[in-house]
Structure formats: structure tokens, C-alpha cells
Amino acid sequence: MKLLVCGGAGFIGSTFVRERVRVHGDELTVLDKLTYAGRRENLQEVESDIKFVHGAIEDPEAVAGAVGDAEAIVNFAAETHVDRSISGPEEFIMTNMQGTHVLLEAARERGLGYLQVSTDEVYGSIEEGSFTEESPLQPSSPYSATKTGADLLVSSYFHTYGLETVICRGSNNYGPHQYPEKLIPLMVLNALAGDHLPVYGDGKNVRNWLFVEDFARGIGHALLHGAPGEVYNCGGPDECDNLTVVRRIVELCGRDESLIEFVTDRPGHDRRYSLSSAKLGALGWRAQVRFDEGLARTVEWYRDNAWWWDPIRSGAYRDYYERHYGRALKA
């Protein structure tokens, strides 16, 4: 297939690009603004097989210049960190909502397919059971509110203009190339450095962990086999509370639990996420990587790839970390 992949230099987008190029031989153009989270390094293994365009999805000219003869647009581009959305929601509104609108217009003008990469956070928090695609949308943070707004806009383009849209909502991803502001890579790098491990609140918040390669395959599956206008949940095979995740990381890194430090909770912190993936399962998708295996692979990748994270930990990220956690990184 010929695809325009927006946000393809980020964590999940670049995993999807590697998978589509290597396994399926797709012809891809990546459009990416290269924010702090977007890195050309993430695409270096397939650099010569893809076309890369540096630009923003909210810029109609950049989108028109990148779209070429693509058959469909796959949109990963987003501001994605909940904590950043709490301290500054503006960019989230611009990229996640305005940017999605520009891409939908580009798809409508050209009659292209459109896949929106979305999140379980649009459903809010659930104490028991799992969200299905029919569950009400009750986002809690500025991040999830802008993702929900984008999803509703995508659905409106199907209902109003007949655009062939699919929405794929993933649960918490983890794996190689994830920016170390998210729980798992942050804890791995801090543990490797012997630094403190900041757990929000009581550490009992539960997430439904999905290995990033499984999500990349799920998105490809929804793109090829999903029905226009439909939403597909793509959840991981295992749930785990944050404290248990951090304890496993401590063990895998050969450290001591005394590094764990309970810190002030995130405002509006969702207690639990859980997705039912039965609908995507009926199309033939299954998660292949269990959490224990995926976490061990992830720790190993960060241990072996300091070239990837060292420039981040020694750059502007240090200021973000200090502002957010009120203390400096050790290494």
C-alpha cells in the first residue's frame, strides 16, 4: 500500500513504519514535525526505504506537499504526555484537534482512506470490567479530551461526507524507542542510573500493557480489515498496577526497592484502564507478547542502546524533569 504516515518519527509511529516496510513492503511517506518526541533516529533502519517530510499536520501546505499519491492517511501525530497536557494544554488542542481536522480535509478532497490512532483514555477510568467500543466517552485530562474531540471529528467525516475512516484505540504501550517521560522508560533509565523512582500517589493505578509491536500490527490489521466508520479497541494481554511494574523493573535492573519514592499524585489521575479487544480479535488480531516477556525485552533494549537515550537525558529533558519532579537527575 501507499500510505502517508503522520507522526511516524515517534515511538509507535516508527514501530509501525518499520513493520509496514519490512514485513509488507509498503511505500511510505512520513510527515512529522519532529517535536521533542519525534526523532529521525527512530527511522534510521528504514531511512532509505521511505520518504521523510518535515512538517506539521496542522499546516495544510505541508500536508498537501506530503500526501503525493497515497491511498490512505494513518495519523499517529499527537502531543501524547498527560502530565504535559496538565501544565500546558495549548499544543494539544493545536496538534490533536486542529491537526486532525487538516488531515481529514486532505483525505476528503482526495477521496483517501483515513485511520486515526487513538487511545483507551477517551473512555476515562473503569473500576471493574473492560471498555468496549460502545462504552461512553468520558475523558479526564486535556490530553484525552483532545483525543476524544479528534475521534468525534473523524466519526463526523464518515457520517457527513462518507469518508472511509477507521479509529483504532490502543491501551498503554511500552517497548523500545519510547521517550523517557512515560512510566516504563523513565523507571528503567532511572533504575539503571541508580536514581530515585517517582511513583505517583499510592502506586495502585492499573494500566493495560500492550507491547508496541502488537499495537503496530493491530493498527495495520484495522487498516486492512476494518469496516469504514468503525472503531476498534486494541488492548494488551495483561493488566498491572504501577507499583508492581516498578518493582519488576527494579528486579530486572538488579537494583534495590529503596530507590522507590512515593510522590504527589497527578491531578485527575485515572485509576484503571482496561480494554476489550474482542471486536479486533474477531478480525483475526491477537496480542503476541505477554507483559513479563515484553518488559524484559524493553529493559534489555534500553540497557544496550545508550546511544539512543543519552542525548535525551543530557539535553533540555533535564530541565523538564527538574521542573516536574522538583529534583535533578543523577546521571
Contact residues toward ligand NAD (CB under 6 A) are: 6-7, 9-13, 32-35, 37-38, 56-58, 76-80, 95, 99, 117, 119, 147, 170, 172-173, 179
Active-site position among 26, 58, 79, 120: 120
Minimum distance from residue 178 beta carbon to ligand NAD (Å): 7
Contact 248, 190 (CB under 8 A): no
- Indicate whether 248 belongs to the interface with ligand DAU (CB under 6 A): no
Active-site position among 32, 121, 181, 239: 121
For the chain, the first-to-last Cα distance in angstroms comes to 44
Cα dihedral 207→211→214→218 (10° resolution)? 30
Nearer of residues 163 and 189 to ligand DAU, judged by Cβ: 189
Partner whose binding site includes residue 183, from ligand NAD, ligand DAU, none (CB under 5 to 8 Å by kind): ligand DAU
Cell matching residue 188: 528503567
Minimum distance from residue 79 beta carbon to ligand DAU (Å): 9
The answer to whether 120 is a known catalytic residue is yes
Residues 6+ apart with CB under 8 A from 237: 210, 287, 289, 290, 291
> What proportions of the chain, in percent to the nearest 5, are helix, strand and coil?
50, 20, 35
- Indicate whether 239 belongs to the interface with ligand DAU (CB under 6 A): no
Nearer of residues 29 and 233 to ligand DAU, judged by Cβ: 233
Q: Which residues are catalytic?
A: 120-121, 143
Contact positions vs ligand DAU (CB under 6 A):
80-82, 119-121, 171-172, 182-183, 186, 198-200, 205, 207, 242, 266, 273
